[in-house]
Structure 1
Amino acid sequence: MKLKDILKILDEISPFELQEKWDNSGLQVGNLEKKIKDIYLCIDVDEGLVESLPEGSLIITHHPLIFGKLTSLEYSSYPAKLLVKMIKKDIAHIAMHTNFDKTHLNSYVAQKVLGVEPECEDFICYFDKECTFDDALKWVSKKFHLTCPRYVQASERVSRIALTTGSGGSLIDFVKADLFLTGDLKYHDAMKAQEIGLSVIDIGHFESECYFGEALQEQLKKRAIKAIIASIKKPLKVWNETIY
């Protein structure tokens, strides 16, 4: 199958036109007329992954490698260093970011990880769960394997929960729930949440979006397309021992 055919199928699964204006989902690197040997799925691209992939393969990631204004390709810098290695190995790259968030990833995580049937509106999925905040914190931490969760507690009880995988701090003003589950919670977003009475649990960016491969693989299987889930090293580590 040619790269252009795979790109068309991906667009049918999750239309690229749904991506946000600031996003760069779609083809990152590759010859559209090139026949693809193997397809790999991963949240991101790193050097270890590129070196492990066979020549002529395709890597489909959640996050675009080319993001923002790329004005030069200095070979020792990021992302140029990876792009050069990919081009030398004839590795193609497609990203499915905010379009896939809206159409599949948020609902997939709600269903497969949390075990709930959500109602989804654009980037936010909602579901009902009556419990104390402490019980919600324990439940969420177990589901996402969080050892040191960060959180804002605005109330003792929870009845309506919202979920946005990745970084959802900019959506705080639009959340209509008692508890918001999202990643990359910033200090000022936490302050805002506290003042408007919204509890938040930071479920991590990587931790909440590492299911991208599973979610896309499920869709590709329906179209008889084989894809292999690859992995990268988690870039951020957590030190959870007392050091003072």
Structure 2
Amino acid sequence: MKVRSIYDFLDEISPFSLQEEWDNSGLNVGDFESEVKKIYISLDIDESVIEEVEENSLLITHHPLIFKPIKKVIPNRFSTKFLISLIQKNISLIAMHTNFDKTHLNSYFAKEVLGFDGESEDFVFYSDIFMEFEELVKLVKEKMNLNTLRVVKLNDFIKRVAITTGAGMGLLDSIKADCFLTGDIKYHEAMDAKARGISLIDIGHFESERYFVDVMYEALKLDIEIKKINSKNPFELI
């Protein structure tokens, strides 16, 4: 199957035109006319992913490998290190990032992982839950299989939650909920949310977006071998 055919299918289920202006979803590496026999799905690229993906394959990731213009191709920087490896193994790369957040990932995480009903508004999924804050924290821990969570508790009872996988604190101005679930929350962002009366639950960047491989696997209705792999979280708790 040609890369072009797979790209067109992806564009149909989650149009690349929906991506943010700063994003770089789409074909990052490769040739639309290349023939591939296997598709791999991963959140990101790391050494384990490069090692597992076979030559002449297509890799679909959530995060683009290339965000900024590349001035030097050297093997000790994230983007260029793996760019070299992809080219050496003739692996094409398509990224499905902010467009897929809007059409699939946020709603999948909220509905299938956390079990909430509701609807998406661009990057944010809203759900009316009417739940004690402590009960909500317990549910998130259980559903995400996490032992601890960073939280900012302002309300004992939560009527409405907003959910954005990955790093969503840049959306704080538009959040219309008692509690915001997102990742990569910084100290001053937490202080800002506290001043606004919005409780926070930090669901982690990798932890909330690792489900990309599952939802993408379900969405790929193509007559080609597809394999789920995943990059590793660079952080560990000790």
Q: Where on the TM-score scale, by shorter chain, does this alignment land: which range?
A: over 0.9
- Tell me how far 1:116 sits from its aligned partner: 1.9
1:166 corresponds to: 166
2:62 corresponds to: 62
What secondary structure, in the 3-state scheme, does the structure 2 residue paired with 1:128 have?
strand
- Tell me how far 1:226 sits from its aligned partner: 4.0
Aligned pairs (5 A) from 1:1-244: 1-221=1-221, 223-239=222-238
* Offset from partner CA, 1:182-212 (integer Å, 9 cap, x none): 0000111100110110001000001110111
- Tell me how far 1:76 sits from its aligned partner: 2.9
- Identical counterparts, % of pairs: 50
Segments of 5+ residues of structure 1 without an aligned counterpart are: 240-244
Report the AA paired with residue 116 of structure 1: F
What secondary structure, in the 3-state scheme, does the structure 2 residue paired with 1:28 have?
strand
What secondary structure, in the 3-state scheme, does the structure 2 residue paired with 1:125 have?
strand
Report the AA paired with residue 74 of structure 1: I
Note if contact 2:38-2:224 (Cα within 8 Å) is conserved in structure 1.
no
Note if contact 2:166-2:209 (Cα within 8 Å) is conserved in structure 1.
yes
In structure 2, C-alpha distance between the alignment counterparts of 1:225 and 1:91, rounded to whole Å = 16
* Offset from partner CA, 1:73-118 (integer Å, 9 cap, x none): 1233221111111111101110000000000100111111011222
* Offset from partner CA, 1:139-167 (integer Å, 9 cap, x none): 11111122221011111111111100000
Note if contact 2:165-2:183 (Cα within 8 Å) is conserved in structure 1.
yes
What secondary structure, in the 3-state scheme, does the structure 1 residue paired with 2:220 have?
helix
- Tell me how far 1:225 sits from its aligned partner: 4.8
- Tell me how far 1:236 sits from its aligned partner: 1.1
Note if contact 1:118-1:127 (Cα within 8 Å) is conserved in structure 2.
yes
In structure 1, C-alpha distance between the alignment counterparts of 2:184 and 2:128, rounded to whole Å = 23
In structure 1, C-alpha distance between the alignment counterparts of 2:65 and 2:41, rounded to whole Å = 14
- Tell me how far 1:68 sits from its aligned partner: 2.1
Report the AA paired with residue 62 of structure 2: H
In structure 1, C-alpha distance between the alignment counterparts of 2:64 and 2:214, rounded to whole Å = 18
In structure 2, C-alpha distance between the alignment counterparts of 1:68 and 1:141, rounded to whole Å = 35
TM-score using structure 1 length: 0.94
* Offset from partner CA, 1:170-191 (integer Å, 9 cap, x none): 1111111111110000111100
Note if contact 2:116-2:129 (Cα within 8 Å) is conserved in structure 1.
no
Report the AA paired with residue 153 of structure 2: Q
Report the AA paired with residue 49 of structure 1: V
Report the AA paired with residue 204 of structure 1: G
In structure 2, C-alpha distance between the alignment counterparts of 1:78 and 1:162, rounded to whole Å = 32
In structure 2, C-alpha distance between the alignment counterparts of 1:63 and 1:77, rounded to whole Å = 16
